[in-house]
Structure 1
Amino acid sequence: MTPYDKLKSLPCAQDSLKPGINFEILDKHAYQISDNQAADRLQKARQILFKTIHGRTMKTG
């Protein structure tokens, strides 16, 4: 179960959302891509981040 699924399963979960936001809206965003696609995007973003950090420390260090 993903954290999002767990949130949806809680009693009165709708009360935890901001006004004007509901699970129908969130579902559209949450299910646009698969969990594996999201994980791939995260890994690529991390690689870019760490390359940037590593490049800065090499130049300043």
Structure 2
Amino acid sequence: MKPKKPSILRFIWMSILFGCAGFCALTFLVIRDPRWFRLYWRVMRFFGSLPSSLIEMKRKRA
């Protein structure tokens, strides 16, 4: 039996699943204990700023 080749779609799918699971776990922690809000806010700001930084990077290349 041949091993399967890694596919980019499988990688993207697994990244989305693990990302959603991490987001849900962090949200659960914040709901249970508000002391986690500082970490939650940093993570949300980081992922919220990614699209704009990618757009700026593409503009600099062009």
**Which of the two has higher C-alpha Rg?**
1
TM-score (norm 2): 0.46
* Structure with more helix by fraction: 2
